[in-house]
Structure 1
Amino acid sequence: MDMFKPSHVVLLSSPGLGHLIPTIELAKRILIHHNFKLTILAITSPSSHVESQILKSATNSSLYTIIQIPSPNIPSDISLTARLCVTMRQAIPSIKSAITNLTVRPSAFIVDIFGTEALTLAKELNIPKFVYVASHAWFLSLLVYSPVLDKQIKTPYLEHNELLKIPGCKPVRPEDVIDPMLNRNDSGYSEYLIIANNLSKSDAILVNTWDELQHRELKALNGELSGLLNVPVFAVGPLVRQPESKTGQATESVIKWLDKQPKESVVYVSFGSGGTMSDKQMKEIAQGLELSEQRFVWVVRAPTGKSADAAFFTTGCSDGFNDELDEIQKHLPKGFLERIKNVGLLVQEWAPQVAILKHPSIGCFISHCGWGSALESLTNGVPMIAWPLYAEQRMNAAFLVEELGVAVKTTVSQANNVVGREEIATLVKKVILGEQNSKSNKVRDKAREIKVSAEKALCHGGSAYTYCPISCGKYN
């Protein structure tokens, strides 16, 4: 076992809150265990106001240095995966310039999965290089095995009538594959395969999960799948945000409202920083929440008429709530705001999610199942209603529902491509109130178990500390 003791760690984040926030949290974790100098290279989104605010706050931190690198001008008419990969590829000259201009030579370089082509820069500098997978080990196993599946299966994955088998892991249903695999003719699919093949160019892979949660997949990644990777995989999670010490008016308004609600009585509804809904679906959600007769906080975003990930690069943020919903109201049932004023709170565009999920009045989270949001829910013991939209979220939902038992899943009607109000109401009641004629609430009980497991992983001696080559100061 060679000792690995970097003094200056450089982390690279691709655009989007789902990539930036986990990178910042990994930097904080490294800092907890070692007094390293930390530099984060953040490729910024073109017009995400929330991302700008987070970067501004992080830049003022004395814990690490943030270097913002403006995103190259990439056409917006390509898939999200392709856009992220092309963005990071074209940013390599700027990334190289930023690294070479550092006053302290980096002794370790960590990239997220969309930045794997930048690993060549670390090789040129002869420094240890790592890939940080901000998702979970089952997702990573599919990514690693995808080049094999690409050769084995010639038809579109959705037309494949058998489960996609991954050595040592739970198989994946064709309908649960991640977005790039839905269309093998799209440039995003070829970019996805490039990422898979680039993983072995690192010295090790860090994944945002913990051993007790995914022992089987982690064992496979370091066993049956190790021949494809040729590098070790380490569980470093759960890496999740903590509530901000300084809160603004927006946060205070939500928390004051939640303070007045009974314990575990409120449904929190949010589809992430990039998710959008159709006009028809927004109306069904509103009517479903009203029909459930349960309290709720709903983060609303006006429909764009485009894809479900349409807001990924443009997430806005408002300090106002009920007073700035003119555009939103056009997509809600007539009289909805007046009828729910005593039981519901609508928040425009963005909400202080970590603070909300930590609040004792929250009893359920209707979520798009982004892994960051899922972890924030799991680490607070909050059960979920899984409503996946894009990326690897269908896979995440299957894991949360079938493997962990902490969530129930929505079903999209084939007739009109929406989740109906009656189903929304039924699922909300099931999670908030529990099963009829049952004294226990299975999903809530399971969520509480996972919370304890996550806390153990983060303790000294837990998997997040023991198995991380940076956190424990060792590298195989």
Structure 2
Amino acid sequence: MINQKLHIAILASPGLGHLIPVLILGNRLATDHGAKVTVLVNKTSSSVESQVLNNLASGPNMDILEIPPVNISHLIDADTKAVAKICIMVREALPFIRSAIAGMKDGHRPDILISDLFCTEAFSIATEFNMPKYVYVPTSAWHVALKMYSPVLDKQIEGQYVDQTEPLKIPGCKSIRPEDVVEPMVDRNDQQYRELVRMGREFSTGDGILINTWEDLEQVTLEAFRENESLREVIMSTVYPIGPLTRPGEPKGPNRENHELMEWLDMQPCESVLYVSFGSGGTLSAEQLIELAWGLEISQQRFIWVVRPPARIADGSFFTSGSGSSDGTPDYLPEGFLGRTKNLGLIVSQWAPQVEILSHPSVGGFLTHCGWSSTLESLKNGVPMIVWPLYAEQRLNATMLAEELGVAVRPKVLPTKKVVDRKEIEEMVRTIMASEKGKLIRERVKQVKISALDAIQEGGSSVNAMRDFLKDVTVRLNMRS
């Protein structure tokens, strides 16, 4: 337990996928370590975001400070990619962030600033107020290594990374296959690539880096951060693997749909249900939705599928009166799909209580976009995966899960390059849910689960890493005074 007077500010970039990890970290620091935590939120108008704030931002030591929204319409166009938009929004919000911190009078102002991975430009504000500054990266150590080494790769390699014939080498770490680079590295001429290289440089300008991973999961990469001389020239900050930090379970509450879903799960055999979800931002093409529906149906395995309409009709509606087939199947799924699979699975509109589902004993597999938060939730519950990467760093995650950890299967070709047909989907589902290979994968993921839980128990590697981080904070604050 640290001194309760320690006041930590955590800055979250816009978007639900960035807000949730920051709130989880804030809760851990406030609940387990007695710190006062203020989360500075670049809030959007999302109703789901408001719900998440209400669920995760509770407790006497946790405050939320909303930063006024900024208008970036004059700074972007139809071709501006997601990472560039986020960076521009943060950049435009910096004066408001500074005002928010300056408005906290002496004695109430934060002692340190933790920035999420997109907000490192705020380090200059921390320096102005003489605050130690850290970055929190809620993804894998492998991703951090690639991002921080990107300024070196930028000088070493000519042409597009995806056109290279040899893996991208990072000293002391696993190499990166060109097809597995993170989304901003696909096009070196795009603004989001330049933003990524900038962030890679800025990570080491802080006093330390918190990563949502643990020692046993990524031992080679974490050792390289500490011991490889060539890599240490780039990654000069101390790295603290403090994960896996994941969401607590959402309360069932009065939501009738969620209550019925969990009741249905209670009636299914152990490890018999495949959970299918592509995260808060994952959408598939109309053609791919049809193939996925057929693949699930012909596999004859139980499932829960969180479905979002394809992009062309993603208007927030789902089952609308007068549309689709007579059994209520929407137009973008095969006619009669709901009727034919009513005894096999459940279709859920837009959102489901993922933590509760993955922790339920009836769930035996997870078809996922393999965002890192979803990945950790699956690993902590010992659930094997079918990995279906869509964007961001998900290709890296998919390669680690399927080829290194052996806890997943994946399509033969990246789903972003080619439609995965129903036959291949059926084969992957049956492999995970009903094959000898699936049993071996299940045994392996349960070993990873034990490792994950050990890391966050008293005396575990991640608990010790968090304490080392807090000791470093104390030393820096004493030096400041």
TM-score by length of 2: 0.91
Equivalents in 1 of 2:190, 2:416: separation in Å?
27
- Whether the 8 Å CA contact 1:30–1:471 is kept in 2: the answer is no
Give the 3 Å change call, closer, same or farther, for CA 11–122 of structure 1 in structure 2.
Answer: same
Deviation at 1:260, TM superposition (A): 1.2
- Distance in 2 between residues matched to 1:133 and 1:422, nearest whole Å: 37
Indicate the structure whose relative CO is greater, using CA pairs within 8 Å and at least 6 residues apart.
1
Matching residue of 1:139 = 143
Q: Distance in 2 between matches of 1:93 and 1:223?
A: 39
**Is 2:275 the partner of 1:271?**
no
Amino acid of the structure 2 residue aligned with 1:256: E
Q: Secondary structure at the match of 2:118?
A: helix
Q: Would you say 1:252 and 2:259 are equivalent positions?
A: yes
1:54-93 map, 5 Å: 54-59=52-57, 61-74=59-72, 75=76, 77=78, 78-93=80-95
- Looking at structure 2, the residues matched to 91 and 211 of structure 1 have their Cα atoms a distance apart, in angstroms, of 35
Question: 1:240 and 2:246 equivalent?
Answer: yes
Q: Matches of 1:7 and 1:183 in 2, distance apart?
A: 43
- Structure 1 segments unaligned to the other structure (5+ residues): none
Moved more, 223-232 or 170-179: 223-232
For these two proteins, the number of residue pairs brought into alignment is 460
Q: 2:446 pairs with 438, 445, 448, which one? A: 448
| Match among 185, 191, 194 for residue 190 of structure 1 | 194
- Looking at structure 1, the residues matched to 168 and 110 of structure 2 have their Cα atoms a distance apart, in angstroms, of 40
* Preserved contact between residue 364 and residue 432 of structure 1 (Cα < 8 Å): yes
Q: Which amino acid aligns with 1:368?
A: H
Question: Once the 2 structures are TM-superposed, how far is the Cα of residue 76 of structure 1 from its aligned partner?
Answer: 6.1
Q: Does the 8 Å CA contact 1:270/1:367 hold for their aligned counterparts?
A: yes
How many angstroms does 1:434 deviate by?
2.2
Q: For the structure 1 residues 214 and 6, does the alpha-carbon distance in structure 2 shift closer, same or farther, using more than 3 Å as the test?
A: farther
Q: Is the 8 A contact 2:145 2:221 kept in 1?
A: yes
8 A Cα contact 2:182 2:392, kept in partner: yes
In structure 2, relative to structure 1, the CA distance for the partners of 1:24 and 1:60 (3 Å cut) is closer
Query: Are residue 49 (structure 1) and residue 47 (structure 2) matched?
Result: yes
Match of 2:464 among 466, 469, 472: 466
Stretch of structure 1 that moved more, 67-76 or 370-379: 67-76
Q: C-alpha separation between the residues in 2 aligned to 1:161 and 1:96?
A: 45
| Stretch of structure 1 that moved more, 184-193 or 227-236 | 227-236
Q: Distance in 2 between matches of 1:357 and 1:76?
A: 39
Q: 1:2-401, aligned counterparts within 5 Å? A: 7-45=6-44, 47-59=45-57, 61-74=59-72, 75=76, 77=78, 78-103=80-105, 104-224=108-228, 225-245=231-251, 247-249=253-255, 250-305=257-312, 329-401=330-402
Q: Distance in 2 between matches of 1:35 and 1:76?
A: 45
The answer on whether the counterparts of 1:119 and 1:202 sit within 8 Å (CA) in structure 2 is: yes
Q: Which runs of 5+ in 2 are unaligned?
A: 476-481
Once the two structures are TM-superposed, the CA of residue 35 in structure 1 deviates from its matched residue by 1.5
Q: Deviations over 1:244-266 (max 9, x none)?
A: 23534132122111111111000
The separation in 2 between residues aligned to 1:216 and 1:4, in whole angstroms, is: 34
Would the alpha carbon gap of residues 403 and 333 (structure 1) be closer, same or farther in structure 2, given more than 3 Å must change? same
Structure 2 CA distance for partners of 1:470 and 1:122, relative to 1, 3 Å: farther
Q: 1:356 to 1:76 in 2, by over 3 A?
A: farther
Instruction: Let me know the Cα RMSD of the aligned residues.
Output: 2.4
Q: Is the 8 A contact 1:33 1:471 kept in 2?
A: no
Give the letter aligned to residue 214 of structure 2. W
Match of 2:134, SS state, is strand
Q: TM-score, normalised by structure 1?
A: 0.91
1: distance between equivalents of 2:363 and 2:9? 37
Q: CA deviation at 1:98?
A: 1.4
Output one character per residue of 1:345-390: Cα deviation in whole Å (capped at 9) or x when no partner: 1111111100110011100000001000000000000000000000
The residue type paired with residue 85 of structure 1 is C
* Structure-2 separation of matches of 1:43 and 1:463: 32
SS of residue in 1 equivalent to 2:91: helix
Letter in 1 for 2:187: N
> Is 2:272–2:364's contact at 8 Å kept on the other side of the alignment?
yes
The 4+ residue runs of structure 1 with deviation greater than 3 A are 3-6, 56-63, 321-328, 412-416, 469-476
Is the aligned partner of 1:422 residue 2:423? yes
Residue 238 of structure 1 aligns with an amino acid whose one-letter code is P
Residue identity opposite 2:459 in structure 1 = G
Contact 1:266 1:295 in 2 (8 A): yes
Q: How far apart are 1:473 and its partner, in Å?
A: 3.5
Task: Render the CA deviation track for 1:312-349: whole Å, top value 9, x for unaligned.
Answer: xx9x6x9xx87889577110001101111111111111
